[in-house]
Amino acid sequence: MEKQVMDFNVLIEQDEDGIYVARVPQIGGCYTQGKSLNEVLERIKEAIEVCLEADKEEVNPMKFIGVQKIQVEKPICC
Partners of 15 in the β-ladder: none
Confidence of residue 65 (pLDDT cuts 50, 70, 90): confident
Q: Does domain 11-54 have CATH number 3.40.30.10?
A: no
> Mean pLDDT score of the chain, rounded to an integer?
91
Partners of 21 in the β-ladder: 13, 33
| Confidence check: pLDDT of 18 > 90 | yes
> Whole-model pTM above 0.85?
no
Confidence of residue 42 (pLDDT cuts 50, 70, 90): very high
Residue 54: predicted pLDDT: 85
Nearest CA to 39 among 53, 18, 54?
Answer: 18
Annotated domain spans of the chain: 11-54
Is 42 strand, coil or helix? helix
| Confidence check: pLDDT of 4 > 90 | no
